Amino acid sequence: MKRTLKGIFALFIVCYFSTSVFASKIPIGPDLAFGLGGSFGVYNALAVKGDGMKYHPDFGYQGGLIMEKMFSNRYGIHTGFWFTYGTISFDMTDTSGTIPDAAFDFMSVSVPALFIFSFNAKKVSLNLLSGFTLNHFIYSHMRYTDSTNVDHSSDVLHYLNYVNVAVTAGFNIKFHVSQFSDFFIGILGDFNCLEMLRDTHGDDMSYVYSGRVISGVMFRTDIFPMMKRK
């Protein structure tokens, strides 16, 4: 763990000082970019109040379209449209006792609005991302096996706050493959600001969060050229 943290810190320092070394050599080029991305990560829920459910991390996938606009070599915005399929596992306690290995399967669409702070070198850039993501759940089913080994499945979308806003932060490292294309890989995390379940009258307060690895390709254009450097 210490070696990993030291490696990340060293990478950050190298990218930071590379900015000053290469800044004068970076051409002012296409800065509005469109791309395709995918991610794989872990989804879970934090139970702040209530003892009816005990949540466990499970996996999810994302795919989507990305748009980025840089206003200078340092600052820009990141948005897009993402589709998510994920699972949150939990143990549920009811009148018959504890039912282990229950799960929510869900699908959602998301629109991020993230601020970019970029450290640029000649062929690589480190981009810090922070902002908010609007999430809309479009499907959710709960499945579990009861104490008599009978499988159950039911639509639970109407129990969820199906429109939610998440705080999002992370980073990506972007490699300039050609004048008009980039490859990137990074890490993003989300924490939903609204409770997962609605109409619980404060009896159960749980918040969905996730951490995922994201990767994709970007294609830069010369539409809306960025401000000239002073």
183: in domain: yes
pLDDT at 120: 87
What span, in angstroms and rounded, lies between the C-alpha atoms of 121 and 16?
A: 8
163: in domain: yes
230: in domain: no
What span, in angstroms and rounded, lies between the C-alpha atoms of 67 and 202?
A: 38
Helix (H) or strand (E) holding 223: none
Q: Specify the number of domains making up the chain.
A: 1
226: in domain: no
Tens-place pLDDT, residues 117-132 = 999 888 899 999 999 9
Structural domain including 206 reads: 2-221
pLDDT of 140 strictly over 60:
yes
Q: Is residue 88 within 8 Å of 106, Cβ to Cβ? A: yes
Contacts 24+ apart (CB under 8 A), 84-87: 84/60, 84/108, 84/109, 84/110, 84/135, 85/60, 85/61, 86/43, 86/58, 86/59, 86/60, 86/61, 86/210, 87/43, 87/58, 87/59, 87/60
Quickly count: other Cβ atoms within 10 Å of residue 81's Cβ.
12
DSSP3 helix / strand / coil % (the chain, rounded to 5): 10, 65, 20
Tens-place pLDDT, residues 16-68 = 444 344 334 444 455 789 999 999 999 999 988 766 678 888 999 999 999 99
Residue 5: is it exposed, middle or buried by C-beta count within 10 angstroms (0-12/13-18/19+)? exposed
Tens-place pLDDT, residues 146-184 = 777 778 788 888 888 889 999 999 999 999 998 889 999
pLDDT at 8: 42
What is the pTM assigned to this prediction?
0.77
pLDDT at 17: 43
Beta-sheet pairing, 181-192 with 32-49: unpaired
pLDDT at 113: 98
SS3 call for 204: coil
Looking at residue 113, which CATH number applies to its domain? Answer: 2.40.160.20
185: in domain: yes
228: in domain: no
Token pair 């450097």: residue:
229
Of residues 91 and 85, the one with the higher pLDDT is 85
CA angle 190, 47, 43 (to 5 degrees): 35
pLDDT at 196: 86
H helices of the chain, where? 2-22
Of residues 179 and 230, the one with the higher pLDDT is 179
Provide the pLDDT confidence category of residue 99 given band limits of 50, 70 and 90: low
pLDDT of 7 strictly over 80:
no
148: in domain: yes
